[in-house]
Amino acid sequence: MTEYRVLGRTGLKVSPLCLGAMMFGWWGESDPGESARIIDRALDAGVNFIDTADVYSQGQSEEYVGRALAKSGKRDQVVLATKCHGVMGEGPNERGNSRRWIFQAVENSLRRLGTDWIDLYQIHRFDPDTDVEETLGALTDLVRQGKVRYIGSSTFPAHRIVEAQWAARRRSLERFVCEQPPYSMLVRGIEADVLPTIERYGMGAIVWSPLAGGWLSGRYRKGADLPETRRSDRLPQRYDMTIEDNQRKLEAAERLAVLAEEAGLTLIELALAFTIRHRAVTSAIIGPRTMEHLESQLTAADVRLSDDVLDRIDEIVPPGVTLNPADAGWQPPELSDAGLRRRP
């Protein structure tokens, strides 16, 4: 892996594959030693970008990453990213995007990561209860204090990305330099609006779930027993095969697996190479739980898909189409709360 890409207009260079640490900790790999070995192998392969979040295993992921980097002595060589927003305690103010919580959350993350600064601090989800100017104001202060180098958003819809850019410009605040949306061959909705918006504002795109939550791992094939995972138990709307949208995903995954075989690739290589080929995408987040998972994904960084293969992918899942809306990562509250659609 020799190619490095500039993150938006920052001048910061990152690898096309970003090591996601969601599976480090009790959510996935509970052995900190094995997590450290996975991190070391990724760094040796040329990955210089690690992404985690405070909510992953309730802070344990950050602790594992921090220990591994301290032991390796490679903290200065790594672009280290984390996120805040998720529920981290029982109190009503131990979550969200308020100034109070962001200031507390960043201190907690710095302590767990064992570092004096965070290269990229991201807001994990949009918070309808908090004015985006308050959020940006708090993040701007953290940048000026030297605790954070850059700021970004995650899973924001296009209109909220625009709102944040305008608010930053209007108030002379630090702006989000990147967005982290879901993107895969089965989840292409962001091609219609989010990715063009990212390009318009000179932002980077760090896409998550490029294997569509495991659907593009090669384990979901027609006629085979479907794997039972914690995710399928936790998110039945995305895995329950009695749901028609998931049947469509299985059919598409099968056709994509056949295409990968014809192209001389694994389905994992096809899936990852597809995401990083989009001109607006800076990096794709890989989230290995085991060393085997990591090795199966690293090779994708050197794969360049031909236009013929990309055209065939478009035939299987058309551009801008997300086969199951439950995979979109975020649902507007106006769709889930009937009270927001009805005049009292």
**Distance between CA atoms of 114 and 216, rounded to whole angstroms?**
35
Contact 216, 184 (CB under 8 A): yes
20, β-bridge pairs:
51
| Cα torsion angle, 226, 232, 236, 239, sign | negative
State how far the Cα of 200 lies from the Cα of 167, in Å rounded to an integer. Answer: 16
Residue with tokens 């779930």: 209
Which residue is associated with the tokens 């001109």? Answer: 279
* Displacement of CA 278 from its chain's centroid (Å): 15
The per-residue b/e assignment along 51-83, b for 16 or more CB within 10 angstroms, e otherwise, is bbbbbbbebbbbbbbbbbbeeeeebeebbbbbb
Distance CA 196, CA 198 (A): 5
CB atoms within 10 A of CB 336: 8
- Catalytic residue check, 201: no
Q: Which of 4, 56, 121, 201 is catalytic?
A: 56
- Which residues are tagged catalytic? 56
